[in-house]
């Protein structure tokens, strides 16, 4: 069966799988050509006074202090950190809120992440700094 015929008959899922290797190869090539180095600091930006895991102002270096970060919070931050590690940014800026972000791919970029524990009211600020 020819490729176009197969894709027409199998729908969107097959098209996605067929295109995935090409897309992934392009991403890997682009990353290897433009790969930058960053350092990461995580600061507890908000926390309840009676929080059981972290206090407002606690700071961590990622990945060095990974074992000191609450697993729930770390799980919430994981995708954000991975995007930032690869040089990406998330486009929303939270303008006019206490969580307004800085986005500077050549310098400092920040991102805010909330812990999924509904009782914690915990917000972490991830700061990515480009290393020359």
Instruction: Tell me the domain boundaries of the chain.
Output: 3-32, 36-131
Q: Return the percentage of the chain with pLDDT > 70, whole number.
A: 74
Q: Which of helix, strand or coil describes residue 52?
A: coil
Parallel, antiparallel or unpaired: strands 123-131 and 37-46? antiparallel
Higher pLDDT, 116 or 26: 116
What confidence tens digit (pLDDT) does each residue in 93-121 have? 999 999 999 999 788 999 999 999 888 89
The rounded mean pLDDT for the chain is 83
**E strands present in the chain:** 37-46, 59-62, 108-114, 123-131
Place of tokens 């006019």: 96
- Mean per-residue pLDDT, 18-38: 59
What confidence tens digit (pLDDT) does each residue in 36-50 have? 899 999 999 999 999
Assessment of whether the complete model's pTM goes beyond 0.85: no
N-terminal to C-terminal alpha carbon distance within the chain: 51
Place of tokens 């307004």: 100
């Amino acid at each position: 069966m020819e490729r176009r015929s197969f894709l027409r008959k199998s729908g969107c899922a097959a098209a996605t799988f067929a295109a995935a290797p090409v897309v992934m190869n392009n991403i890997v090539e682009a990353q290897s050509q433009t790969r930058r180095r960053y350092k990461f600091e995580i600061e507890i930006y908000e926390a309840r006074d009676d929080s059981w895991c972290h206090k407002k102002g606690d700071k961590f270096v990622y990945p060095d202090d990974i074992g000191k970060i609450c697993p729930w919070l770390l799980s919430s931050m994981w995708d954000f950190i991975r995007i930032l590690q690869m040089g990406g940014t998330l486009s929303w800026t939270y303008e006019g809120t206490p969580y307004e972000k800085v986005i500077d791919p050549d310098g400092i970029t920040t991102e805010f992440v909330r812990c999924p524990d509904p009782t914690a009211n915990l917000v972490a600020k991830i700061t990515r700094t480009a290393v020359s």
